Amino acid sequence: MTGSLAKTPSNRVVILGALSAIAMATARIYAAEGAALMLVARNADRLKGLADDLRTRGAVQVETAVVDLEAAAADAPALMAVWKTRLGGLDHVHVIYGYLGTQEKATSDPAELARITSSNYSTAVQWCEAAANIMRAQKRGSVIAISSVAGDRGRQSNYAYGAAKGGLALYMQGLAHSLAPTGVRAVAVKPGFVDTPMTDGLKKGGPLWASPEKIGKIVRRAADKGGPVQYAPGIWRMIMLVIRTVPSFVFHKTKL
Amino acid sequence: MSTRFHPSDTLASWGRVVKARHLVARPRFPDEIGELISGFSPDAPGLAVGLRRSYGDSNLNPEGHIIDMTGLDRMISFDRETGLICAEAGVSFSQALQLLAPAGWFLPTSPGTRFVTMGGAVANDIHGKNHHAAGTFGASVTRLKLWRTDGVAQEVGPGDPLFHATVGGLGLTGIIEWVEFRAVRIPSTEVEGEDTPFENVSEYFDIAAEKKDRYEHTMAWVDCATGGSHLGRGILSSANWYQHGGLTAHREEPRRKMPIDAPSFAINSLTVRAFNSIRHELKTMRAGPYRQHYEPFLYPLDAIGGWNRLYGARGFYQYQCVLPPDTARDGVVELLKTIVASGQGSTLAVLKDFGPNPPVGLMSFPREGTTLALDFRNQGEATLKLMADLDQIVASAGGRLYPAKDGRISAALFQSGFPKWQEFREHVDPGLSSAFWRRVSA
């Protein structure tokens, strides 16, 4: 932490689910720019390690908050206000946490289905709305949520997750519309296949798999530029257009 | 065993000769290490690996468990006043330089690629073009944290026997969680150097002896396709940090990528000969002083991501030996004669004189003398026969081979080259092993 106190941060950024691979890649870009960061996740030791990393890489201020984001969503407005105070202002909020789960389990276990819905949609929108309300008042800033290409068409293999992520994207689209007069940005980023521990077990490799670093760059850029729904990388816009267009009588013959 | 391990048929070393099945786990946080290694045992040993730039089988554990450490890539601290830096084992030299270089610091030494991890740099006690001035990477390491598979984690540093076994210890003494080392000051991120052509091996030795006192970085490229009076002709590059330039880090991404394996005819005796001749002519034309950023000077091959695919799907072998000063001149001549006669010419052949710095690790490869590094496209028996002939020359010259480059030497040659190997064996964690270690410790 060399001479950090005197410097003015480039941006003041809250990252929810800061320990995910995509969040970490995004945070490193902000750190190199000299941002002030509030990292929120459940594991205190891991947050400390990440905070050291980001300070070393150039963040002028790194704060951490140990919070279960699903359990604490009802307190979102109050917590968001506290974090804004700790950072001395609020420029960007990234809602990155989520839960993949398995469709098989969700089909038979109500708790799994509830967790998938809560993590990826119903609590996520609480945090987005709390952030948006602060920004609406200050007429400045951005709220960026991680959705998924799985949200573009319901598929037998992951429709619980897909529906929640798809709902989140729809929410962000509406939020962007409502914030348009204020100049505040709301964006849903929809990654395709990302090579993270969450997907370890799947067969990887090939042109459609992206690194968390590549997605991080898109997520960081989405805070400043682009429309309310952004595919990451952009090729997925075309792929999903095709997938949405396939008629059901064909689609239902696939195992996707 | 933990469900965190997933089967993989694609894990390979940089030479890509061995294709084997492994069970691979990719932790992202240090607190995962303990659980991952808890199932390792002498009957089912594991191994931690980094960016897998070792060429042979020292980073392979076929049918066994592998912990890919590259997800542990956080910086822990960096003191911009003293240059003391601490980083998790999976941090690459490339990432570290992004932080160090703009602040006027540099790695104490670096191999010819920046895509190596901290853990790998310690485990192979890597060396670079400045060995005669700076020694190996291990000489700058002040502390590291090591997990044993019995679950005990400890910090070790210079003076601790386990530290000196771990430096150069090929990842066999434990899992390295983080490494702390001293960076070195640089006046700029540019080097000022010159290329000096030499017409044969004898001239190389004369020029190298003269340059090493005046230049921090030296290495020579040698033409392995030409014999006779031009045997061992080549170009010696020597450079120092430029005193007046700016401080900018390299671009992180490779400029180009090899998207597919090259067809097997891409590198053959004709193309190797042509490549070497053209290179000799070009470099000779450029002889004289020049200035450039550290990136093309230190990392010319990193400009092409996956350059190892140039050798085609069957992969290639590296061969790197070091010969003691009193046998080096004759030994290098013998080695080159044998390569020229085989017609298998090495595409990239590098000569360098190591300095007299005492080795830090029990198993450190560098020692005073001359090192020759070669690579050969895998042509099956013919290539193995050539390397066996080279082994004979190295053995009779009292030299040794670099484990990071090797995938086939005999236990006898390894054991005669590393006289402290039995002392080292006492420190090997019984829950860790590699294909290399099983072969050479037999």
Rounded to an integer, what distance in angstroms lies between the CA atom of residue B348 and that of residue B372?
A: 10
Tell how far CA B174 is from the center of its chain. Answer: 20
Tell me which of B155, B186, B217 is where a domain ends: B186
Residue matched to tokens 């969040």: A23
If one compares A200 and A223, the residue with the highest pLDDT of the two is A223
Instruction: For residue A207, say if its preceding peptide bond is cis, omega within 30 degrees of 0.
Output: no
- Judge if B141 and B273 occupy the same domain: no
Reference A130, options A173, A185, A168, A75; nearest CA is A75
- Judge if B88 and B198 occupy the same domain: no
Q: Determine contact, residues A60/A8, Cβ cutoff 8 Å.
A: yes
Tokens of A252: 């239902």
- Cβ contacts of residue B283 below 8 Å, gap of 6+? B195, B197, B221, B235
For residue A98, the model assigns a pLDDT of 95
With respect to residue B67, please indicate whether it lies within any of the assigned structural domains. no
Tokens of B130: 């400045």
- Judge if B144 and B197 occupy the same domain: no
Q: How confident is the model at residue A236 (pLDDT cuts 50, 70, 90)?
A: very high
Query: Is the pLDDT score of A196 beyond 60?
Result: yes
Residues in chain A with CB shorter than 8 Å from the CB of B6 are: 200-201
Tell me which of B186, B211, B233 is where a domain ends: B186
For chain B, say whether A42 makes contact (Cβ under 8 Å).
no
For residue A1, the model assigns a pLDDT of 43
- Judge if B262 and B382 occupy the same domain: yes
In whole numbers, what is the pLDDT of chain B averaged over residues? 91
- Judge if B179 and B194 occupy the same domain: no
For residue A176, the model assigns a pLDDT of 98
Single-letter residue type at B231: L
- Judge if B351 and B294 occupy the same domain: yes
CB contact under 8 A, A52 and B76: yes
For residue B377, the model assigns a pLDDT of 87
B310: exposed, middle or buried (Cβ count in 10 Å: 0-12, 13-18, 19+): middle
Residues in chain B with CB shorter than 8 Å from the CB of A2 are: 79-81
For residue A2, the model assigns a pLDDT of 45
Chain A, nearest residue to B27 by Cα: A197
Minimal Cβ distance to A53: which of B10, B31, B74: B74
Rounded to an integer, what distance in angstroms lies between the CA atom of residue B176 and that of residue B166?
A: 9
With respect to residue B395, please indicate whether it lies within any of the assigned structural domains. yes
With respect to residue B83, please indicate whether it lies within any of the assigned structural domains. yes
Residue-wise over B388-400: b if at least 16 C-beta within 10 A, else e?
Answer: ebbbebbbebebb
Minimal Cβ distance to B99: which of A21, A43, A57: A57
For chain A, say whether B6 makes contact (Cβ under 8 Å).
yes
Question: Mean pLDDT across the stretch A118-139?
Answer: 98
Domain span at B162: 72-186
Single-letter residue type at B353: D
For chain B, which residues score pLDDT lower than 70? 1-3, 254-288
Reference B54, options B399, B262, B365, B432; nearest CA is B365
- Judge if B145 and B202 occupy the same domain: no
Residue-wise over B226-249: b if at least 16 C-beta within 10 A, else e?
Answer: beeeebbbbbbbbbebbeebeeeb
Query: Is the pLDDT score of A181 beyond 80?
Result: yes
For residue B262, the model assigns a pLDDT of 65
Q: Where does B190-282 show beta strands of DSSP type E?
A: 190-198, 217-222, 234-241, 256-257
CATH of the domain at B174: 3.30.465.10
Test the A interface: residue of B8, B22, B28, B92 with most A CBs within 10 Å: B28
Beta carbons within 10 angstroms of residue B12's beta carbon:
18
**Rounded to the nearest 5°, which phi and psi values hold at B425?**
-55, -30
Tokens of A97: 């946490």
Helix and strand numbers (H, E) in chain B are 13, 21
For residue A4, the model assigns a pLDDT of 45
Q: How many domains does chain B have?
A: 2
For chain A, say whether B21 makes contact (Cβ under 8 Å).
no
Rounded to an integer, what distance in angstroms lies between the CA atom of residue B215 and that of residue B237?
A: 10
Q: What three-state secondary structure class fits B124?
A: coil
Lowest-pLDDT choice from A86-90, A206-210, B425-429: A206-210
Q: Determine contact, residues B96/B76, Cβ cutoff 8 Å.
A: no
Q: How confident is the model at residue A83 (pLDDT cuts 50, 70, 90)?
A: very high
Rounded to an integer, what distance in angstroms lies between the CA atom of residue B278 and that of residue A25?
A: 43
Tell me which of B186, B221, B239 is where a domain ends: B186
For chain A, say whether B30 makes contact (Cβ under 8 Å).
yes
B430: exposed, middle or buried (Cβ count in 10 Å: 0-12, 13-18, 19+): middle
For residue B259, the model assigns a pLDDT of 60
Minimal C-alpha gap between B52 and chain A (Å): 17
- ipTM of this predicted complex? 0.89
A185, containing H or E segment? strand A185-191
- Render pLDDT for B254-278 as a digit per residue (tens, 0 to 9): 666 666 666 655 566 666 666 666 6
Tokens of B158: 């210079």
A79, containing H or E segment? helix A76-87
Q: What is the DSSP letter of A136?
A: H
- Cβ contacts of residue B5 below 8 Å, gap of 6+? B23, B24, B25, B36, B65
For residue B257, the model assigns a pLDDT of 66
Percent of chain A residues topping a pLDDT of 90:
86
With respect to residue B420, please indicate whether it lies within any of the assigned structural domains. no
- Cβ contacts of residue B189 below 8 Å, gap of 6+? B101, B106, B245, B246, B247, B248, B249, B293, B294
- Judge if B145 and B274 occupy the same domain: no
- Render pLDDT for B105-158 as a digit per residue (tens, 0 to 9): 999 999 999 999 999 999 999 999 999 999 999 999 999 999 999 999 999 999
- Judge if B168 and B225 occupy the same domain: no
- Judge if B211 and B275 occupy the same domain: yes
Query: Is the pLDDT score of A128 beyond 80?
Result: yes
- Judge if B222 and B357 occupy the same domain: yes
- Judge if B172 and B246 occupy the same domain: no
For chain A, say whether B419 makes contact (Cβ under 8 Å).
no
Q: What are chain A's domains? A: 12-251 (3.40.50.720)
Strand partners, B175: B147
Test the B interface: residue of A53, A55, A195, A204 with most B CBs within 10 Å: A53
Tokens of B29: 């946080």
With respect to residue B201, please indicate whether it lies within any of the assigned structural domains. yes
